[in-house]
Chain A
Amino acid sequence: MADFSLWVITSNLLLATRWTIALSLVAFVSGGAVGLLLLLARMSASGALRRFVSLYVEFFQGTPLLMQLFMLCFGAALFGVEISPWMAASLALTFWTSAFLTEIWRGCVESVPKGQWEAGSSVALTYVEQMRYVILPQALRIAVPPTVGFSVQVIKGTALASIIGFVELSRAGAMINNATFRPFLVYSITGLIYFALCYPLSLLAKSLERRLNAAG
């Protein structure tokens, strides 16, 4: 049997990290887009839409991401659709991410003082114009730090895709462990790679938040 040097283990884990990054990006970008739509629905005048969004958020925040992944995998099969682990993971992470982001952003929009809306309507701006020129620019500034902070949760969330068979960093770690029987080493390196991905984002979120508080 081949000898697995530290370098072989690390380089293989780093190769698999590409898929963790790709999945995180897809989940974050599409989750953000869906989250924005949900936010608009949540802020709309329609009671039915608002109720739908709060049920959606309750469901995706109140159930484990792992269950969501399983349900998506097997739910798609019920309709006779073959769904690849990559598709299932992307979709489930998109739903999950959108539920959290829409809730974070709602808090940001609601933290803009009511007077700003009233000022907007008193100069005859329409609802869309108030949103576009008055509320969102201010809400956006508040929203950046927690959004960056949540991206760390998304990266960590992608580890669960390994359970439904998508080969990313965690799955690669498990596979390499099965070949090398050096779990202590393999999972240490796996953990450190995740740390290298997440820690800069955590620091960025923290410093953005500090800057916002200093400015505000």
Chain B
Amino acid sequence: MSIRYILPFIMCTYITAHAQIDESLLKTIPKDTVKQAMNMDAIYNRPFVSVGKLPVSVGGYMEANWQHLGTDGISEGHQFQFRRMTLFVASTISKRIKFLSEIEFEDGAKEIAIEFAALDVELHPLLNLRGGMIMNPIGAFNQNHDGPKWEFTDRPIAMTQMLPATWSNAGFGLYGKYYNKDWMFGYEAYLSGGFDNSIINNEENKTFLPAAKNNSERFEESASGEPLFTGKVALRNNKIGELGLSYMGGVYNKYQDDGIRLDEKRSVNIWAIDFNTTLPVLNTFITTEWAWIKVNVPETYSQQYGNKQQGGFMDIVQPILKRNILGWKKATLNIACRLEYVDWNVGKFKETGGNIAEDLWSIMPAISFRPTSETVLRLNYRYQKQKDLLGNPPSVTSGLSFGISTYF
């Protein structure tokens, strides 16, 4: 037997042997992902598995779905989609130094991205330094977007098609939390790389902040050469809920190159407010978020690219059954509904004074089943109306989707 056969045999035997003998070394650290401390904690509030005495723990989640949607009588038919698989690797380097990374494979690895890879150094509970690939904490969804936490296959439109979802950049900043009985206060403040001209020059034909996500150059060169500031403060009362206020802003355009001035500095400013609560007695969970965007668009450019946007969503989740179902203890059956609205172009036409439309509203009732808190099966029905820039009769989209999502 040649060495090229022996070596893999030995390796397989070794791995198999360890798998058989050392199962107990895999320590699952489950998290109840339905209830968490604050949105800013979401990044660590995930189930991880640690292996023996290795200093790393790993985890991840996946999302897949079937959908059948139609718009104005035209449907693309049955669509089976593997939306994403995300891997987490976390390591406690020392008592107060931690590292966590999140690598996402979207649409069957069509897109692979490091969403988060940052080192956290605790100087004081109220003063932690974070650096690396950070997730800009604008709104709550960007902080807390893991698929298994939601009762809906689709992410909120305003938080993905107006704000950039999972918007991360190379940067540094500070965060901290303060507890007092039922009260919690948290803050985050970062300076990072940011947007570029594509937010007003893209194939969506509208001001579209997520277009900047396509620019992978931003991880080594900031288009404007100016830092993007992102800050968030959040206040939580365990009996009332959590309220977050966030801001992100900076110069987005490449206004100079090689020391030569090309344009004036143009800024983008984003404000967001988020709130979540669980109603007593009924245990109804409500989470909502609204954002406003203001972009300095040149007066002589096209109003096709708006200088103001706004939108948000509200999810209402009502557990209707929480018991042993099909052998799963503490399984939960929920009914839920998402309400959404986005206006990508708030303003009036210079030519007529009439309203610029480019807006959308959607309602999405849902049924979700959680055999455990970390796995969700969800059936959604979307009904959506979207108007074009001119405000012509809206296109109507509706249809069903069924999806699964789980941490692993």
> Does B bind A?
no
- Chain B residues engaging chain A, CB cutoff 8 angstroms: none
